[in-house]
Amino acid sequence: MVFNRVIPCLLLHQGGLAKTVKFKKPNYIGDPINAVKIFNDKEVDELIFLDIDATVEGREPNYKLIEEIASECFIPLCYGGGVTSIEQMKKIFALGVEKISLSAKAIESPELIKEASELFGSQSVVVVLDIKKSFWGGRYSIYTHRGKKNRKLEPIEFAKKIVNMGAGELVINSIDNDGQMQGYDSELLKMIKEAVDIPVIGLGGAGSLEDMRRVIKNIGVSATAAGSLFVYQGALNAVLINYPEYKKIRELLKD
């Protein structure tokens, strides 16, 4: 039986964990290693770590930090941020990471997706698309560099291109919904899901497991990811790393 995954997505910022709202104002959450240890004990399906500084600063991934995270992580791990070459990917996989996500480089050099999928297997290559709706006209466009750089690419057509290049999974991250905890952009997810035949992961906006259930059941995404839902607790958003019991998730998502 294939289960829909429920994935914490954690942002690395200045060596620690942070959470943003609409990709702005990173709020310090805590130590990434401590978070990994907590999630290890909670039967988490998978973890995604995204370094939100590396591409903006034009630097390589922080291999030392990645190694520390991977050495403590006993669940499937995906890393993204600052990855621009096959050699970098080799280093990261050698540290114990199972998947690598590409974002800006997937747009600038989509042939890297093809080369990586042929070398490492498509299941190891994830593409994250950060997408925002324009204020005028409501058109969607892909952004990079922490939402600051509009690539002026239509998401559906680019998603199809990614599939043809060999990407194994596609993370659709809504900039508008990021940190709002009011639900995913269902319209966006539906359009992408209908256009591609690889697993689609929804990210941006989850405030409850019901938000996740809705897009899994109504749209058919393969997985849902969230940040705020798993690092905040209560009406005042007190910082608390959390994850529901495995039985509760499976019960909610069962047919």
pTM: 0.96
Q: What local confidence, expressed as pLDDT, does residue 252 receive?
A: 77
Q: What local confidence, expressed as pLDDT, does residue 231 receive?
A: 96
Q: What local confidence, expressed as pLDDT, does residue 255 receive?
A: 61
H or E stretch at 113: helix 111-120
Tokens read off for 150: 């509009």
- Active site includes 130? yes
What is the DSSP-derived secondary structure letter of residue 205? -
In order, the DSSP letters of 117-178 are: HHHH-GGGEEEEEEEEE-TTTT-EEEEETTTTEE----HHHHHHHHHHHT-SEEEEEETTTT
Q: What local confidence, expressed as pLDDT, does residue 234 receive?
A: 83
Q: Where are the domains of the chain?
A: 5-253
Q: What is the pLDDT along the chain (255 residues), one digit of tens a residue?
A: 457 899 999 999 999 999 999 999 999 999 999 999 999 999 899 999 999 999 999 999 999 999 999 999 999 999 999 999 999 999 999 999 999 999 999 999 999 999 999 999 999 999 999 999 998 778 999 999 999 999 999 999 999 999 999 999 999 999 999 999 999 999 999 999 999 999 999 999 999 999 999 999 999 999 999 999 999 998 788 999 999 988 888 887 776
CA 253 to chain centre: 20
Tokens read off for 5: 């995954």
pLDDT digits (tens, 9 = 90+) for 41-98: 998 999 999 999 999 999 999 999 999 999 999 999 999 999 999 999 999 999 999 9
Q: Can you give the length of the chain in residues?
A: 255
Amino acid in position 117? S
Q: In the CATH hierarchy, which fold is given to the domain comprising 5-253?
A: TIM Barrel (3.20.20)
Q: What local confidence, expressed as pLDDT, does residue 1 receive?
A: 47
Q: State the catalytic residue, choosing from 45, 130, 185, 211.
A: 130
Question: Taking the chain, what is the end-to-end CA distance rounded to the nearest angstrom?
Answer: 12
